[in-house]
Amino acid sequence: MMNHNTSYQDVKPFIFDVDGVLTDTGCTITPEFQEYFLNWMQHKPVMLVTGSEHHRTREQLGDAIVDAALITYNCLGNSIWFDGQEQLHINSIRLTRQERLWIHHEILLMQFPGKLGNHMEQRRGSINLSFTGRPATPDVRKAFAIWDEQHQYRARLIHRFNEQNPRLEAFIGGDTSVDICLKHANKAQILNLLPQAMDRNNFIFFGDKCFPGGIDYPLVKWSQEKWGGTIHEVQGHLATWNILQEMYS
């Protein structure tokens, strides 16, 4: 595997979202894919970027994969981990009273019947807003995903949120939530944080929310406008597995 003493000259980095890419949404990695991916990672510059906290990434992927990754960008890239430690924490976020009231008002008016409370989770550099609340059973999460697909609730909400809260931005993440961060403190920022000697114009990214409004979209958009790179939009670990076998074995 690569480490921080390895030369990065002209190396193409691989960047993976976690939830919905290396795992199915809301799940942990399967043992079969975990074994394959850990072997595939050897001698490759693999980085992870996710909206989740670092402990959740370890829960989903296991310690071996996280420790083998060159860098893990948690909380949209605002909590940066390597060598087993958080090396940098940037873009701390605290909502104003007005912003918090805006969110509470929207949740109060939301017509989905399965709300459980405990909707906001403060993270390092971001805030996760779960519309089911926590903890939610798989059945409740599935019911919300169907309801959201029918009503496009999250897509409409982030449009309003971004218009009315100009210092912040919100993105669709997972099946039941949105992630909120400071303006421009999103996944795109990691392209400026890659090791400089790497061939950063030819990175390879795997994401599942690459559409406008999705959590991966800023990275995709910026890569198209400035950086180049190859984008693979996938839905679930089997799609990722197939591409790795067909194109990058």
**CATH classification at residue 165:** 3.30.1240.20
Q: Is the dihedral of CA 14, 20, 245, 231 positive or negative?
A: negative
> Does 116 share its domain with 177?
yes
> Does 18 share its domain with 128?
no
- Read off the CATH number of the domain in which 220 is found: 3.40.50.1000
Residues 6 or more apart in contact with residue 181 via CB below 8 angstroms: 76, 78, 91, 93, 125, 126, 127, 168, 169, 171
> Is 4 a domain residue?
no
> Is 6 a domain residue?
no
Report CA-CA distances (Å) from 52 to 19, 79, 129: 9, 10, 12
Nearest Cα neighbor of 153 from 133, 182, 178 is: 178
> Does 178 share its domain with 189?
no
> Is 75 a domain residue?
yes
> Is 27 a domain residue?
yes
Distance CA(32)–CA(52), nearest Å, equals 23
> What's the pLDDT at 5?
45
Instruction: From first to last of the 249 residues of the chain, give the pLDDT tens digit.
Output: 445 545 566 678 999 999 999 999 989 999 999 999 999 999 899 999 999 999 999 999 999 999 999 999 999 999 999 999 999 999 999 999 999 999 999 999 999 988 888 999 999 999 999 999 988 899 999 999 999 999 999 999 999 999 999 999 999 998 999 999 999 999 999 998 888 777 777 899 999 999 999 999 999 999 888 878 999 999 999 999 999 999 998
Nearest Cα neighbor of 190 from 5, 8, 29, 50 is: 50
> Is 2 a domain residue?
no
Among residues 132, 156, 182, which one ends one of the domains?
Answer: 182
Name the residue range of residue 234's domain. Answer: 14-90+185-247
Among residues 182, 208, 238, which one ends one of the domains?
Answer: 182
Among residues 182, 199, 226, which one ends one of the domains?
Answer: 182
Distance CA(144)–CA(131), nearest Å, equals 8
> Is 1 a domain residue?
no
> Does 20 share its domain with 76?
yes
Helix (H, G, I), strand (E, B) or coil at 87: strand
> Does 144 share its domain with 165?
yes
> What's the pLDDT at 1?
45
Number of domains, the chain: 2
> What's the pLDDT at 9?
64
